[in-house]
Amino acid sequence: MNNNFNTLISDCIKKWGSEDERTQLFSELLSSWLDNVSVENRPLFIELLKKFCYYPHDITNQLLGTLYQRLLSEKDVSMTNTIYTSIESSTGIVNSSDEYVIEFKHYNRISKYLFFDNIRKISEDQWEDIHNIVFIDDCSGSGDTFYKYLQRNKQLFVNKQVYLIAVHIMEDAYNKIKGLEIESNLKIKILYGVIQKKAFAESLAELSCAEAERIYFNESKKNGIPLNHILGYENSESLMAFYNNTPNNTLGFFWYDNDNHKSIFPRLDDVKPPWYMKNKKKERNAQNYNNKIRSK
């Protein structure tokens, strides 16, 4: 069993392409992680692990370089008519898209004058010469954030070519975003490193999709993982993590920690200052008030 266990670790790291602090933590915690699963159900979790995609920093940057070259091979994409930006956060707080825009710029040695943190600041005269708007992100798990952003700002992108560059994208997210081409009459192209089906879209460990999902769900509940995290945000059923964090789209068993369950790719939740919660309290009070008004 020990040899099989070491082989499993070795095969995973070989697939992921590089070692770092997070793969070291994975190696240290994998045994106890599997111990939290009933013996008869461990083959299912091993199969999920074999499908898991982890992106070390150097591998991520290599993919950002490859995706940039693919972008340059697209018709009508040049330095003179293309700009780069991030997917704007609804809260105004820096997000993973902001981080990856900087990585993309530095790795590909692109002029800072092609990058904008707010494309609304571009003048009308300049906007006429811009044909392509390229958004950079680490992943798209549900497609929800980018979909809503494009919907809110669709008038900006009429007669423009919109690109999304993502290291990893879920198949359902891809289809949702592409659906906006018809819904909002936008031109959207998605360039990705890896596209992935939902974890339980196919049979696993000789189990049907439904049976595999049921077993996974019950094991997660047993380990105290909250119901809204078990299948990931919006039930994305993603199997991915990055050198800088693990998206909440990923199956909760891989990233959620509590006193009894230590994950193998823990999510790095930043500490919120006390003043941040004041605004959240106002938002909750306003929402409660609106709900009361609507109910009358």
Of the two residues 143 and 277, the one the predictor is more confident about is: 143
> Structurally, how many domains does the chain consist of?
1
d(CA 146, CA 135): 9
pLDDT of residue 283: 58
- State the residue range of the domain holding 169: 1-296
b/e map 176-212, b = 16+ CB within 10 Å: bbeebeeeeebebbbbbbeebebbbeeebeebeeeeb
Does the pLDDT value for residue 295 go beyond 60? Answer: no
Q: What is the pLDDT of residues 134-143, one digit of tens each?
A: 999 999 999 9
pLDDT tens track for 151-180:
999 999 999 999 999 999 999 999 999 999
pLDDT tens-place string over residues 281-292: 555 555 554 454
- CATH at residue 154: 3.40.50.2020
* pLDDT for position 284: 59
Q: What local confidence, expressed as pLDDT, does residue 281 receive? A: 58
Average pLDDT over residues 90-102: 89
Pairwise CA distance, residues 284 & 279, whole Å: 9
Q: Phi and psi for 15 in degrees, rounded to 5?
A: -65, -40
Q: Is 254 left (phi over 0), alpha (psi -120 to 50) or beta?
A: alpha
Give the pTM. Answer: 0.91
Q: What is the pLDDT of residue 158?
A: 92
In this predicted structure, the answer to whether residue 294 has a pLDDT above a threshold of 60 is no
